[in-house]
Chain A
């Protein structure tokens, strides 16, 4: 369902050019759960942003659901993000002034659902993440794990086919991280495709497929993260990549 071919992304400032991705190719099939790992600065977030159409790429082709996205206008991208993609962020990105209900409601309003439909979906999604009793709480009144679950409810309420998570457990302690991971696994087994960027080797190991990004290149591997490849590859590939 996601197909990237020879994607490159160059960030230009007045003085420097950063090649965040180079010749990046990746296929993700419907229903997969892919963990993306790699050192800091290797281009994981850049990849996720391009996958989620949050930013443009410099060259290459990207097909989402067999549709070439590079020609799409801004509104069309917004619509696809709204309907097909759910985002989960490292720092939760809840709107601090809105309670749980209103936060989960945000994408649904852009979707143009009726009030009754939105309410049904919000209640369902919040129940799925186990926070029904916190419906009127503000983010500041919730723990980090709870906030991330609200964010997951927000991502799920629109029933997306595709979930993108950038270090979803990065700001959580291991117990909370575990809960969030379990939730994602449930969601995936219900049919939603998930691409998750993570630092955490244990969590990545729980995903059926791992992809390593090193200096803007992709190393596709389904091996466990504690394999020798993972610990040796960075140095080698960094040399190749620079």
Chain B
């Protein structure tokens, strides 16, 4: 292999190769970091919510008029909604998980003063909530109709809840807390955890404590609430219009609005993440394309400039494959210089992003994967020009001045 002369020759025409190597370095840094971010966003979007999102329909009931009473309306509404064929379970809920709006709460694992408080999302729900959300009970029990309270004011303390394992563990960092544990509200009132959920996502998908969720069996004295209607698999779209009709038929002193599928709600909450992933994917594609075109361009230029030299090499004994290899090796050296510099740059960019945007540290395996990808891009880019070069006739040696 003729690394020596190729290297020495390229030192005499270094501007093009150096610019190319820099472009490759930059490309590596951008695509590796971008792909890493894309991967994180995709992981975020596709992480399990704990709920049967794909089969759920949600709808808001908005009462008006003096004599509308939500607390009276809810039991009737639930009974009518449950009666719709294809409906698996229904609960009332003050808000819809993953929607971006909800109520937060603060609990502590101990009644002592100064005990650390942990934030979570709370949902005021009905007896069949576990089924209606399709969440999995890890231990303890679900609510019954007797558990559900209809308080006349906001101040009535909560006595029993179901919460996620994540929330329970956050309240008891030493671990091992089980159903039956007692937690404390802001005023120090004890609350019994009667059931523990595997996983359930709360309101705000960008929030770190998304998995801190608590269900409270209660219908609040307000005008508006949501219904979470879980359909049997495949029945959701058929059930959907009937949900609206049923609610209007049950009680006409209200507006029924925001009839949406839960997956639509989830998707719109993740729109920013998806948008980011798409934008970055476009940037990565463009970068790869521009660099690929650059590699092709530089290699074609190198070939065009050296037509006579190639003919001469052929005349003095180079086989076609020797010419092919010459350009492959030359290109490989440029790409390799680029990816070596690029690897350092990639890690530097990641450090900077970790420091400035609190991004996660790059998984180091992404760097060699990116290097491989660019090597491959280099090979693909140079293949055409190198083949053209290898097809140059040795007769060129005597036919060009």
Asked if B262 lies at the interface with its beta carbon under 8 angstroms from chain A, I say no
Range for the number of chain B residues in contact with chain A: 20 to 34
1/0 per position for A82-114, CB-CB distance to B under 8 A?
110001011101011111001001110111000
Stretch from B28-36, B179-187, B277-285, B392-400 at the A interface? B392-400
Contact at A54–B401, with CB atoms within 8 Å?
no
Which residues does chain A contribute within 8 Å of B5, judged by CB atoms?
98, 102, 105-106, 109
Contact at A82–B312, with CB atoms within 8 Å?
no
Q: In the complex where A78-B314, A81-B315 touch, is A89 in contact with B13 (Cβ < 8 A)?
A: no
Interchain nearest-CB distance for B304 vs A (Å):
15
**A102 partner, pick from B8, B313, B318, B393, beta carbons under 8 A:** B8
1/0 per position for A67-88, CB-CB distance to B under 8 A?
0000000110011011100010
Expressed in whole angstroms, the Cα–Cα distance for A54 and B316 within the complex equals 10
Main DSSP-derived SS at the B contact region: helix
Which of A107, A109, A155 counts the most B-chain CB atoms under 10 A from its CB?
A: A109
Q: In the complex where A54-B393, A82-B317, A106-B316 touch, is A98 in contact with B399 (Cβ < 8 A)?
A: no
Closest to B10 in A: A97
Asked if B319 lies at the interface with its beta carbon under 8 angstroms from chain A, I say yes
Contact at B399–A110, with CB atoms within 8 Å?
no
Expressed in whole angstroms, the Cα–Cα distance for A48 and B400 within the complex equals 15
Which residues does chain A contribute within 8 Å of B398, judged by CB atoms?
45, 48-49, 54, 89-90, 166
**A81 partner, pick from B2, B12, B317, B399, beta carbons under 8 A:** B317
Asked if A149 lies at the interface with its beta carbon under 8 angstroms from chain B, I say no
Closest to A155 in B: B316
Which residues does chain A contribute within 8 Å of B400, judged by CB atoms?
91
Q: Report B366-401 residues with CB < 8 Å from chain A CB.
A: 393-395, 397-401
Extra pairs beyond A87-B315, A99-B8, A102-B9 (18, CB < 8 Å): A45-B399, A49-B398, A55-B394, A74-B320, A75-B319, A75-B320, A78-B319, A78-B320, A79-B319, A81-B316, A82-B318, A90-B398, A93-B308, A93-B315, A95-B9, A97-B13, A102-B4, A109-B5
Q: Hey, which bits of chain B sit against chain A, CB under 8 A?
A: 2, 4-5, 8-10, 12-13, 308-309, 312-322, 393-395, 397-401
Q: List 27 A-B contacts (CB under 8 A).
A: A49-B395, A52-B315, A54-B395, A74-B319, A75-B320, A78-B319, A79-B317, A79-B319, A81-B315, A81-B317, A81-B394, A82-B317, A87-B316, A89-B397, A93-B308, A93-B315, A95-B9, A96-B12, A97-B12, A106-B5, A107-B316, A109-B5, A110-B316, A110-B318, A138-B12, A158-B317, A166-B398
